[in-house]
Amino acid sequence: MTTASSAIGRQDPGFIEVDNTIDPISGRAPLVLGCRDFHDVTHGVCRVNEAPKAPLAWWVAFSIALSFVGLLGVCVLYLIVTGVGVWGLNNPVMWAFDITNFVWWVGIGHAGTLISAILFLFRQKWRTGINRFAEAMTIFAVICAGLFPGIHVGRVWFAYWLFPIPNQMDMWPQFRSPLLWDVFAVSTYFTVSLVFWYIGLIPDLATMRDRAVGKVKQFAYGFFALGWRGSMRHWHRYEVAYLLLAALATPLVLSVHSVVSFDFAVSQLPGWHTTIFPPYFVAGAIFSGFAMVVTLAVPARELFGLKNLITLRHLDNMNKIILVTGCIVGYAYSMEFFIAWYSGALYEKFAFLNRAFGQYWWAYFIMVGSNVITPQLFWFKAIRTSIPLMFALSIVVNIGMWFERFVIIVSSLANDFLPSSWDAFFPTWVDIGTMLGAIGLFATLFLLFCRYLPMIAIAEVKAVMPQADPHAHH
Amino acid sequence: MSTLTIERPTATKAHDGSTSRLWGLMAEFKTPAAIFEAAGRVRDAGYRHWDCHVPFPVHGLDKQMGVKRTIIPVIVFFAGLTGCSVGFLLQAFTNGTGAEWSFWAIVWVTGYPFLISGKPLLSIPAFVPVMFELTILLSALTTAGVMLLFNGLPRWNHPLLAKKRFLRASDDRFFIVIEARDSRFIRSKTEDFLKSLGATHVEAVED
């Protein structure tokens, strides 16, 4: 059967309404619905990319996202030619939206690695439906994250000073600084995530190549598929390599947000100088990342007809993880307060009381409300399995986690040791424009990914189907 | 043996009139169970230059084929050690010593020792994060690189990729391929053997 006839000759199985959130007594509920055989999976995923025209909703979303990229370009250019004074920064608040956005984006990336690496090591088979686009989300989020420290250094043309490159000044980076650890952690994280994602993509790119009609597509997919031909001898090394990459990415992802938290925890500032930060940041990162996966998965599965592969069970599982990590974050918030009181340190006590009841009290209450209180609704299964409610709650979590970073950074800086140096931060239009622009950049990259690359790991999904068992008798 | 070698790879006429050498035989199977069963018999028949081509890793098929476990993890371990040492030496040299060093007498670098935050020049705990990140970075790049290298990828011109039927190897069909260079390969006998394994289709692959 040729590629063209296989694309046209088969009827789409259509969405099968099966509740797979409950396991039957005899075993596990199916992870893939409505696919009679392997070809249904291939076709179900690839037809999104093979459709000659993208859906109208895609074009609408893409043009909005692209216009925000334009806004980002304007804001960044204005910043570079003028200086960081175009932001609302002052002395003492020298970090505000820039680092808030940086930490927020890095955190979002963490869910992708958790799904691709940690759930892989735990043999959670449901990850196969969502890992590909969660990994893509990681890469795009880290791109957005990397932008902010890059532009906040002021003289952007000296950003290469961050790396240990021999230079005419005989100067080196200061390796005892957490800011430098961050450079290594984030760049390693980006590189390893990209490698992991690409290695996972190779077999699916080969599938795209084999189905492609038209020279350009055949060449492009063929080039990046590296001539993959599904050899079992290759698969053997591939699986070992994939396992190793998962085992390497797992400590890496835990280290990245720990190192990001060192940016604060290693300093002496009350409200930052806290030993709970590394685990607290990692839990928060996974929390916000899963919320972003839900935010992206819900419209993607509706728009591209992937409900058979990203099932209600996948969403239900993710909402459970949001609930768990939300509780960990809530525990961390209360433990911070307890330690501030228990330490007996005057400045520490003030920093936390000021955080909750000072000039940024509203930000603090948005943070606690959206990260601790509203996620508790996920205790109810009816809410965990309701598409509109989970979408709304995931947006609330995204907002709440942005405010968490804002509260930690700005409220600690604005009111430090000396009342004479206190000040308040107010964002300028450039601050807000850069933040929205980064969201636009993320959305643009994600929409391009949805259009041109297989959104679901085709080979991995096939391997978890009951038909894939070589010892099945049928 | 001498009578058998007559049938070893010979030139055949292709459709466009050009001559091409027989590269191997390709047998198609429809289910993972069928190829699993067949792979065991190809292995027992003593073939060496053969392979299975499958759209996803069929669980246990590599063992069934008698594929030896790869040494990639061992290589990655040493890559990790290298990354860790490079991380330590880089930091100790640049922040801990005033020594001079040259890269093949082209680039000269000098350390820049300075004291900060009351830490000693050789402050190992503060060096740990960078050592850790470089360990992971070098291990991960080595894992991916060595995997592709050992698999002989990228290779865009493989004889199998020219076969129309083989397009489904990345979709829903399972192929056993026996190469003509195998010492046990005799075209007619190997073809009969593959058919006896329950292959739904057997086809010659030209070089």
The answer for B 107-146 residues in CB contact with A (under 8 A) is 107-112, 114, 116-117, 119, 123, 126-127, 129-130, 132-134, 136-137, 139-141, 143-144, 146
- What residue segments make up the domains of chain B, in order of their start? 4-69+158-206, 72-150
Run of H or E including B22: strand B19-29
pLDDT score for A9: 42
Interface residue of B23, B103, B106, B130 to substitute, partner A, most A CBs within 10 Å: B130
Whether the bond between B154 and the residue before it is cis, its omega within 30 degrees of 0, is yes
Q: Could you tell me the two tokens for A182?
A: 């961050």
Contact B155 A226 (CB under 8 A): yes
| Angle at the Cα of A349 from the Cα atoms of A343 and A350, rounded to 5 degrees | 155
Does B76 contact chain A (CB < 8 Å)?
Answer: yes
Whether residue A414 contacts residue A425, with contact meaning beta carbons closer than 8 Å, is answered with yes
Q: What is the mean pLDDT of residues A319-326?
A: 92
Residue ranges of domains in chain A = 54-163+184-466
**For residue B28, what is the enclosing H or E element?**
strand B19-29
Q: Give tens-digit pLDDT for B146-169.
A: 999 999 888 888 888 888 888 888
- Preferred mutation among A39, A209, A231 to probe B, highest tally of B CBs within 10 A: A231
Q: CA A75 to CA A441: how far, in whole Å?
A: 13
Interface touch A462/B146, C-beta < 8 Å: no
**What is residue A7's predicted lDDT score, i.e. its pLDDT?**
40
Cβ contact A175–B94 (<8 Å) = yes
Contact assignment for A173 to B94 by CB distance below 8 Å: yes
pLDDT at A114 over 60: yes
- Report ipTM for this prediction: 0.87
Provide the pLDDT confidence category of residue A3 given band limits of 50, 70 and 90.
very low
What integer is the mean pLDDT of A70-97? 91
Q: Taking residues B13-42, report their average pLDDT.
A: 81
**Amino acid letter for position A254:** L
Smallest Cα–Cα separation from A208: which of A434, A453, A462, A391? A453
The answer to whether A232 contacts B130, with C-beta atoms less than 8 Å apart, is: no
- Tell me the three-class secondary structure of chain A, residue by residue: CCHHHHHHCCCCCCCCCCCCCCCCCCCCCCCCCCCCCHHHHHHHHHHHHHCCCCCHHHHHHHHHHHHHHHHHHHHHHHHHHHCHHHCCCCCCCCCCHHHHHHHHHHHHHHHHHHHHHHHHHCCCHHHHHCHHHHHHHHHHHHHHHHHHHHHHCCCHHHHHHHCCCCCCCCCCCCCCCHHHHHHHHHHHHHHHHHHHHHHHHHHHHHHHHHHCCCHHHHHHHHHHHCCCCCEHHHHHHHHHHHHHHHHHHHHHHHHHHHHHHHHHHCCCCCCCCCCCHHHHHHHHHHHHHHHHHHHHHHHHHHHCCCCCCCCHHHHHHHHHHHHHHHHHHHHHHHHHHHHHHHHCCHHHHHHHHHHHHCCCHHHHHHHHHHHHHHHHHHHCHHHHCCHHHHHHHHHHHHHHHHHHHHHHHHHHHHCCCCHHHCCCCCCCHHHHHHHHHHHHHHHHHHHHHHHHCCCCCHHHHHHCCHHHCCCCCC
A77, A112, A150, A423, A435 from A80: Cα distances, Å: 5, 32, 11, 25, 16
What b/e sequence results for A300-327 when a residue is b if at least 16 CB atoms lie within 10 Å of its CB, and e otherwise? bbebbbbbbbbbbbbbbbbbebbbbbbb
Of residues A38, A171, A177, nearest to B112 (C-beta) = A171
pLDDT in tens, A127-145: 888 888 889 999 999 999 9
Query: What is the secondary structure of B129-149 as a DSSP string?
Result: HHHHHHHHHHHHHHHHHHHHH
The model's pTM: 0.89
Yes or no, beta carbons of B67 and A232 under 8 Å apart: yes
CB atoms within 10 A of CB A473: 5
Q: What is the pLDDT of residue A15?
A: 57
d(CA B2, nearest CA chain A) in Å? 32
- DSSP letter for B165, please: G
Give the model's pLDDT for residue A12.
53
